[in-house]
C-alpha cells in the first residue's frame, strides 16, 4: 500500500448560480498578464453548451486523454516516438480561435477623436497585435444559451439534439471548471521535456516554467483543455490550485470567493499502488474503481501506512474532517467529470437536481407524493448527467440523485413540522445522522467546514523555498521575456 | 582577406559564442528558453513551413555531420556513380523542402498576429536560414557533386579548425556561393545563444526512459539535501 494525500475540490452544481466571481478572482490573481489574457484557469460554462475552449469534450477532434488498449492505458494521440515525430507541428492542438481572440477597446479615441457630428466610439482592438478586430467570439459567449442551435446543440454529451429545440424539455446548469489535478495526468505524460510534474505531498500538478520549452503536447493531451499556451512567454501554464495559498492553509481564490458557497476543498488519501488497476476497468466501472482507491482516513492501518509515507498528522486529521471525503466516498454524491478520459480527475461534482421539474403538469402529479419528483421527471436528463459524470453509467448518477432527493424530502418534512419518513432515506441508503451531516454541508457549513486545507509545513523544511523567489514578480516571470536579442 | 574572415575568424568567433554564451543563458535565466511556437496563433501556413523545414534541415544537417565524421566510408560509398546520383538527388529534394519551408516560415511572419510576436532575433534567424537553404540548393544544382568535393575540401578544412591550425587553402578556391554558405552556417551558430534557436538543444532521453507520470516531493528532496 502506497498511501498518498491529494487536495481535492468538490462542486455542488445545484448551488452554482453562474456569477463567474470565481473566474474573476482567479484571473485577477494569476492570469492578468500579457500572453495570458485569453486564459481562464477557472471558468464557468453553461451546459449544454460549447464550453471553453469550444467543444473541448470532443476527443474525436482534440484526441486528449487516455484510452484503454488491451491491458494498457495509452495516450490517445501519440506514443513516445510519434510524439517526437510530431514535434514540429501538432495536428490536434486547439487554436486561439477555439478559445477567443483577446481584445480591449481603443478608449483613447473617446478623448482624442476630432470634433465631428457623431459620437466617437471605442473600437475593439486585438490585445495581441493591436490591430482593429471584429469580435466574433468571446469568453462565455454562449453563457445561458442552452437552447442555442449554434453552440448547445453541438454539445457532444447530448444524445438527442432535438431536446434543445423542444421548449418544454429545455434545461441548463452551470459547470465551473478548474484543472482537475488528476491522479493520472495526461499532460504530465505527454511532456517530452518533463517540465510538468505532480507534487507528491498534495497532488497539485504544476508546469516548471524553467524547464518548459513550449512543445505544447500538454495542451493537446489534457482532455479538459486546462493547460494553456502563453504566446508571449512561449511556455505552457495552468491552474496551480493556488498552491501559495493552500500551502499556508488558505482556501483557493476561486473557492474563497465563491458567492454560492458551492465549493469544498479537502484532503483525501488514496492508494497509489492500486491506481493502475483502477485505470484499467471498463468505462461503466470507472467511478466505482476511482472511489475504491480512496482510503478511509479513520482506519488505523491506513493511518500508519500514510505516516510511513511521510504524510504528517495534521494532514491525517484534515483528511478525517475533509468534506471531500464525505461527499465523494462516504455519501457517494460527488462524481468525477468525464472519468472516461482516464486521467482520474481530482475535482468532483454533486450533480444538479434543479430546476427540479420539467412542466407544471408534473408538479400536480408530484404533489400527491411528497412534492419530490420521480427520477424520470427530472428536468436535467439523467442520461445527459451520466455522459458528463459517470462515463454513461446511469445507475451511479441515479444513486447520487436519489440521495439528494431523499435529503430534500426528509428535510422538507422536518422543516414543515411533519413527521419525516425515514423510509425515503433508507431507500436512498442514508440514515438520519448522515442526512443531517449532508444537510449541514450543503447549507450552513462554515468556511472552515467547507475548506479543511492543512498547511504544507514549509516551516519545518531546511530551506524556505520562497527565498529563491524573493524579489521576484508574481508568477515566476522574473525577467521580461525577450524572445531573443 | 575575406577568406580569412570567413574561414578562420568567423568560425572561432561563432564557436566561442555558442560554447560560452549558451550555458550562461541556460544557467542565468531559462524563462525565455523556448520554441516560441506560433502554431497557437496561426497554423495553416505553419504546417507547410514548419514540417518541410524541420524534416529537411534535420536530415540535411545529419548528412553534413556524417560526411564530416566518416569521410573515408562515405568516400567509398560515393565511388559508385549510381549511389552518388541517388544520394545527391535525395539531398537536393531535402534541400528544396528546406528552402520551401524557410520561405513559408519567413513570409508568414509578415501577417497580423504573427508579426506582432516576431522579435528582431526571429527576423535575423529566419533570414539566415533562408540564405542557408538557398545557397545550399544553388550548390546542389549548379556546383555539382557537392557530396564528393565536400569530403576533400570542407571536411579537411573543418578538421584543421578543430586542431587549431586552420588551413584555408582547402576551401579558398571554391566559388562565392560556398563561402556564403559557410558564412551563413557560422552566423547561425553565432546567433544560436541569442535566439529561440536554442530550442534545438533538446535530448529527450528522460522522456524516453521515464515512467509516464513524474512526481516531485518537496519534503523528500529537502530531506535528501538536494
A229 touches chain B (CB under 8 A): yes
Q: What percent of chain B has pLDDT over 70?
A: 96
Chain B's closest residue to A235, CA to CA, is: B34
Q: A-chain residues within 8 Å CB-CB of B35?
A: 213-215, 234
d(CA B129, CA B200): 14
The pLDDT value recorded for residue A363 is 56
Contact B108, B114 (CB under 8 A): yes
Average pLDDT over residues B171-190: 95
Beta bridge partners of A236: A229
Is the Cβ pair B32, A482 closer than 8 Å?
yes
Average pLDDT in chain A? 89
Chain B's closest residue to A232, CA to CA, is: B117
Which residue of B29, B193, B213, B225 is the best one to mutate when testing the A interface, meaning the one whose CB has the most A CBs within 10 A? B213
Residue A446: pLDDT above 60?
yes
Contact A356, A378 (CB under 8 A): yes
Rg for chain B, CA atoms, rounded: 20
Q: A-chain residues within 8 Å CB-CB of B213?
A: 184-185, 188-189, 198
Q: Provide the pLDDT confidence category of residue A473 given band limits of 50, 70 and 90.
A: very low
B143: its cell numbers: 556546383
Q: What is the pLDDT of residues A278-336, one digit of tens each?
A: 999 999 999 999 999 999 999 999 999 999 988 999 999 999 999 999 999 999 999 99
Least confident of A5-19, A362-376, A383-397: A362-376
The pLDDT value recorded for residue B28 is 87
What is the DSSP-derived secondary structure letter of residue A428?
T
The pLDDT value recorded for residue A133 is 94
Average pLDDT over residues A399-409: 90
The pLDDT value recorded for residue A358 is 53
Q: A-chain residues within 8 Å CB-CB of B38?
A: 231
The pLDDT value recorded for residue B224 is 44
Q: Provide the pLDDT confidence category of residue A468 given band limits of 50, 70 and 90.
A: low
Average pLDDT over residues A95-120: 94
Q: A-chain residues within 8 Å CB-CB of B30?
A: 210-211
Q: What is the ipTM of this complex?
A: 0.91
B197-216 residues touching A, CB cutoff 8 A: 199, 202, 204, 206-208, 210, 212-216
Is the Cβ pair B204, A463 closer than 8 Å?
no
Average pLDDT over residues A219-229: 97
The pLDDT value recorded for residue A149 is 84
Residue A178: pLDDT above 90?
yes
Comparing C-alpha atoms, which of A276, A233, A246, A257 is closest to residue A181? Answer: A246
Residue A174: pLDDT above 70?
yes
The pLDDT value recorded for residue B225 is 40
Domain containing B148: what range?
2-223
Point out the residue among B35, B122, B202 whose CB comes nearest to the CB of A484: B122
The bridge status of strand A205-207 relative to strand A196-199 is antiparallel
A292 touches chain B (CB under 8 A): no
Average pLDDT over residues B164-171: 92
The pLDDT value recorded for residue A151 is 86
What SS3 class is residue A372?
Answer: coil
Give one DSSP letter per residue of A219-251, joined into a string: HHH-TT--EEEETTTTEEEE--TTHHHHTTTPP
Residue A460: pLDDT above 80?
no
To the nearest whole Å, the CA of A98 is away from the closest chain B CA by: 10
Long-range CB contacts for residues B171-175, cutoff 8 Å, separation at least 24: B171/B3, B171/B7, B172/B3, B172/B7, B175/B143
Size of interface A-B (CB pairs under 8 A): 164
The pLDDT value recorded for residue A159 is 80
Q: Provide the pLDDT confidence category of residue A364 given band limits of 50, 70 and 90.
A: low
The answer to whether the peptide bond before residue A151 is cis (omega within 30 degrees of 0) is no
Average pLDDT over residues A327-346: 96
d(CA A94, CA A98): 6
Point out the residue among A90, A130, A200 whose CB comes nearest to the CB of B216: A200
To the nearest whole Å, the CA of B22 is away from the closest chain A CA by: 12
The pLDDT value recorded for residue A152 is 86
Q: Provide the pLDDT confidence category of residue A260 given band limits of 50, 70 and 90.
A: very high
Contact A108, A95 (CB under 8 A): no
Q: What is the pTM of this model?
A: 0.92
Q: Provide the pLDDT confidence category of residue A368 given band limits of 50, 70 and 90.
A: very low
B218 touches chain A (CB under 8 A): yes
Is the Cβ pair A188, B50 closer than 8 Å?
no
CATH of the domain at B177: 1.20.950.20
To the nearest whole Å, the CA of B39 is away from the closest chain A CA by: 7
d(CA A247, CA A430): 35
B161: its cell numbers: 579548425
Average pLDDT over residues A221-240: 95
d(CA A16, CA A23): 13
Chain A's closest residue to B36, CA to CA, is: A234
| Burial group, residue A265, by CB count within 10 angstroms (0-12, 13-18, 19+) | buried
The pLDDT value recorded for residue B226 is 36
The pLDDT value recorded for residue A359 is 57
Comparing C-alpha atoms, which of A368, A365, A397 is closest to residue A380? Answer: A397
Q: What is the pLDDT of residues A117-157, one digit of tens each?
A: 999 999 999 999 999 999 999 998 999 988 888 888 889 99
B74-93 residues touching A, CB cutoff 8 A: none
d(CA A53, CA A39): 10
A34 touches chain B (CB under 8 A): no
Chain B's closest residue to A81, CA to CA, is: B208
d(CA B15, CA A419): 88
Residue A66: pLDDT above 80?
yes
d(CA A406, CA A383): 20
Q: What percent of chain B has pLDDT over 90?
A: 84
Q: B-chain residues within 8 Å CB-CB of A309?
A: none
Q: What is the pLDDT of residues B51-105, one digit of tens each?
A: 999 999 999 999 999 999 999 999 999 999 999 999 999 999 999 999 999 999 9
Average pLDDT in chain B? 92
The verdict on domain A1-100+137-466 having CATH code 1.25.60.10 is no
B102-131 residues touching A, CB cutoff 8 A: 112-113, 115-117, 119-122, 124-125
Is the Cβ pair A201, B117 closer than 8 Å?
no
Q: A-chain residues within 8 Å CB-CB of B204?
A: 84, 192-193
Is the Cβ pair B41, A93 closer than 8 Å?
no
Average pLDDT over residues B111-139: 95
Residues 6+ apart with CB under 8 A from A466: A458
Residue A478: pLDDT above 60?
no
A138-197 residues touching B, CB cutoff 8 A: 184-185, 188-189, 191-194, 196-197
A248: its cell numbers: 499556508
What is the DSSP-derived secondary structure letter of residue A127?
T
The pLDDT value recorded for residue A398 is 92
Instruction: Count how many domains chain B has.
Output: 1
A231 touches chain B (CB under 8 A): yes
To the nearest whole Å, the CA of B2 is away from the closest chain A CA by: 26
Higher pLDDT: A181 or B111? It is A181
The bridge status of strand A3-12 relative to strand A347-350 is parallel
What is the DSSP-derived secondary structure letter of residue A280?
T
Q: What percent of chain A has pLDDT over 70?
A: 89
B23: its cell numbers: 550555458
In chain A, domain spans: 1-100+137-466
Amino acid at each position: 500500500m502506497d498511501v498518498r494525500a491529494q487536495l481535492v475540490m468538490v462542486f455542488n452544481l445545484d448551488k452554482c448560480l453562474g456569477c463567474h466571481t470565481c473566474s474573476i478572482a482567479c484571473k485577477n490573481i494569476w492570469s492578468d498578464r500579457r500572453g495570458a489574457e485569453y486564459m481562464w484557469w477557472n471558468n464557468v460554462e453553461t451546459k449544454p453548451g460549447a464550453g471553453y475552449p469550444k467543444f473541448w469534450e470532443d476527443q474525436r477532434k482534440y484526441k486528449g486523454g487516455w484510452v484503454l488498449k488491451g491491458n494498457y492505458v495509452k495516450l490517445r494521440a501519440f506514443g513516445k516516438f510519434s510524439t517526437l515525430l510530431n514535434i514540429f507541428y501538432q495536428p490536434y492542438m486547439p487554436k486561439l480561435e477555439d478559445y477567443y481572440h483577446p481584445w480591449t477597446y481603443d478608449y483613447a479615441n473617446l478623448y482624442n477623436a476630432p470634433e465631428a457630428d457623431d459620437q466617437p466610439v471605442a473600437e475593439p482592438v486585438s490585445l495581441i497585435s493591436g490591430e482593429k478586430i471584429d469580435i466574433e467570439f468571446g469568453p462565455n459567449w454562449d453563457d445561458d444559451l442552452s437552447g442555442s442551435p449554434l453552440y448547445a446543440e453541438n454539445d457532444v454529451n447530448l444524445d438527442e439534439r432535438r431536446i434543445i429545440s423542444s421548449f418544454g424539455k429545455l434545461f441548463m446548469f452551470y459547470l465551473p471548471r478548474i484543472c482537475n489535478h488528476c491522479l493520472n495526468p495526461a499532460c504530465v505524460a505527454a511532456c517530452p521535456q518533463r517540465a510538468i510534474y505532480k507534487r507528491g505531498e498534495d497532488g497539485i500538478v504544476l508546469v516548471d516554467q524553467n524547464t518548459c520549452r513550449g512543445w505544447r503536447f500538454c495542451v493537446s493531451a489534457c482532455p479538459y483543455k486546462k493547460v494553456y499556451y502563453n504566446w508571449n512567454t512561449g511556455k505552457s501554464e495552468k491552474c496551480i490550485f493556488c498552491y501559495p495559498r493552500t500551502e499556508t492553509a488558505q482556501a483557493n481564490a476561486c473557492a474563497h470567493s465563491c458567492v454560492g458557497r458551492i465549493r469544498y476543498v479537502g484532503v483525501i488519501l488514496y492508494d497509489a499502488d492500486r491506481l493502475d488497476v483502477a485505470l484499467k476497468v471498463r468505462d461503466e466501472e470507472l467511478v466505482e474503481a476511482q472511489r475504491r482507491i480512496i482510503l478511509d482516513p479513520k482506519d488505523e492501518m491506513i493511518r500508519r501506512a500514510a505516516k510511513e509515507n511521510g504524510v504528517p498528522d495534521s494532514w491525517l486529521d484534515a483528511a478525517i474532517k475533509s468534506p471531500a471525503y464525505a461527499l465523494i466516498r462516504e455519501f457517494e454524491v460527488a462524481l468525477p467529470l468525464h472519468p472516461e478520459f482516464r486521467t482520474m480527475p481530482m475535482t468532483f461534482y454533486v450533480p444538479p437536481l434543479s430546476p427540479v421539474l420539467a412542466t407544471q403538469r408534473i408538479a400536480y402529479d408530484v404533489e400527491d407524493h411528497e412534492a419530490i419528483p420521480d427520477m424520470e421527471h427530472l428536468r436535467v436528463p439523467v442520461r445527459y448527467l451520466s455522459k458528463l459524470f459517470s462515463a454513461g453509467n446511469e445507475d451511479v448518477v441515479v444513486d447520487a440523485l436519489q440521495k439528494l432527493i431523499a435529503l430534500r424530502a426528509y428535510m422538507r418534512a422536518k422543516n414543515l413540522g411533519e413527521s419525516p419518513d425515514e423510509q425515503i432515506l433508507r431507500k436512498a441508503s442514508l440514515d438520519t445522522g448522515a442526512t443531517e451531516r449532508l444537510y449541514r454541508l450543503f447549507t450552513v457549513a462554515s468556511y472552515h467546514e467547507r475548506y479543511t486545507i492543512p498547511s504544507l509545513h514549509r516551516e519545518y523544511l531546511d530551506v524556505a523555498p520562497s527565498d529563491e523567489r524573493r524579489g521576484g514578480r508574481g508568477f515566476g516571470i522574473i525577467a521580461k521575456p525577450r524572445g531573443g536579442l | 582577406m575575406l577568406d580569412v574572415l570567413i574561414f578562420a575568424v568567423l568560425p572561432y568567433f561563432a564557436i566561442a559564442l555558442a560554447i560560452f554564451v549558451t550555458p550562461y543563458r541556460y544557467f542565468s535565466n531559462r524563462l525565455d528558453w523556448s520554441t516560441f511556437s506560433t502554431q497557437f496563433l496561426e497554423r495553416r501556413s505553419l504546417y507547410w513551413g514548419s514540417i518541410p523545414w524541420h524534416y529537411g534541415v534535420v536530415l540535411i544537417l545529419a548528412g553534413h555531420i556524417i560526411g564530416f565524421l566518416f569521410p573515408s566510408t562515405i568516400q567509398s560509398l560515393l565511388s559508385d556513380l549510381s549511389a552518388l546520383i541517388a544520394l545527391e538527388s535525395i539531398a537536393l529534394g531535402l534541400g528544396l523542402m528546406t528552402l520551401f519551408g524557410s520561405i513559408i516560415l519567413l513570409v508568414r511572419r509578415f501577417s497580423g498576429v504573427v508579426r506582432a510576436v516576431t522579435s528582431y532575433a526571429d527576423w535575423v534567424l529566419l533570414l539566415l536560414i533562408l540564405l542557408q537553404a538557398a545557397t545550399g540548393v544553388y550548390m546542389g544544382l549548379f556546383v555539382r557533386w557537392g557530396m564528393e568535393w565536400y569530403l576533400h575540401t570542407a571536411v579537411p578544412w573543418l578538421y584543421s579548425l578543430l586542431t587549431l591550425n586552420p588551413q584555408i587553402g582547402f576551401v579558398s578556391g571554391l566559388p562565392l556561393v560556398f563561402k556564403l554558405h559557410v558564412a551563413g552556417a557560422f552566423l547561425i551558430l553565432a546567433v544560436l545563444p541569442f535566439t529561440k534557436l536554442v530550442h534545438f538543444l533538446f535530448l529527450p532521453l528522460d522522456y524516453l526512459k521515464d515512467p509516464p507520470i513524474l512526481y516531485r516531493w518537496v519534503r523528500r528532496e529537502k530531506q535528501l539535501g538536494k
